[in-house]
Amino acid sequence: MDWSMSRTVERQASRMANMMQMVGADPVELVRLRAGEAYAEARTKCLQCCNARECLLWLDANPPSREAPLFCPNFRVFENCKKAG
């Protein structure tokens, strides 16, 4: 097993979850969207994303950035899955 690939996938999955939390996206809504296809597409985009450095900087900003993460290829789908309330 290629452990470096496993760690990369784990880190990127964690970034996806963190990004969803920061923008207020509901993971359940994402999974329901298009019978799971939207989630699968978002996961693939995250795994192949070339903006990892920018993503980490945005997520680690203290105080949190008020700017929308327009560099994120999943931002629009996350916006469509905002939590109610």
Q: What is the pLDDT of residues 27-48, one digit of tens each?
A: 999 999 999 999 999 999 998 9
Residue 16 · residue 46 · CB < 8 Å: yes
Instruction: Tell me whether residue 84 is in a domain.
Output: no
Average pLDDT over residues 52-65: 90
pLDDT at 84: 72
Residue 59 · residue 11 · CB < 8 Å: no
Mean pLDDT of the chain: 89
Average pLDDT over residues 10-18: 85
Full-model pTM = 0.84
What is the rounded distance in angstroms from the CA atom of residue 22 to the CA atom of residue 20? 6
Split into its structural domains, the chain has a count of 1
What is the rounded distance in angstroms from the CA atom of residue 1 to the CA atom of residue 12? 18
Domain holding 28, by residue range, is 3-79
Residue 66: pLDDT band by 50, 70, 90 thresholds?
Answer: confident
